[in-house]
Amino acid sequence: MSLYYDNGIIWYFLPAMPGIEYWFHHPSTQVSVTLELPPNLLGFAYYLVLSPGHMGYGVDFGCECYLDNSSGERIYITSFTRSNFYHKSCDFINASIHMMSHHVVLWYDPRSCKQIMEAVEETKFINDVIINYNPKLTFRFFIEETQRNEEMIVECGFHWIYPFEASAIQNRTEDIKSNDQEYTVPPTNK
Task: Provide the residue-wise pLDDT of the chain in tens; the chain has 190 residues.
Answer: 566 666 778 878 888 888 777 788 888 899 999 988 888 888 888 998 988 887 776 677 888 999 887 777 888 888 776 655 544 444 455 566 778 888 888 888 888 888 888 888 888 777 665 556 678 899 999 887 656 666 788 999 998 888 877 665 555 545 544 554 554 555 566 5
* 15 domain residue, yes or no: yes
Q: Residue 93: inside a domain, yes or no?
A: yes
- What is the model's pTM? 0.72
Domain that holds residue 116: 2-173
Q: What is d(CA 67, CA 120) in angstroms, rounded to the nearest whole number?
A: 8
Q: Is residue 180 part of a domain?
A: no
Q: Is residue 90 part of a domain?
A: yes
Is residue 67 situated within a structural domain? yes
Number of domains the chain is built from = 1
Strands across the sheet containing 2-6: 2-6, 9-15, 103-108, 43-50, 153-161, 25-28
Residue 16 main-chain phi, psi, to 5 deg: -70, 140
| Residue 70 CB burial class (10 angstroms; 0-12, 13-18, ≥19) | middle
Beta bridge partners of 161: 43
| Residue 78 placed within a domain | yes
Confirm whether 185 is domain-assigned. no
Q: Is residue 124 part of a domain?
A: yes
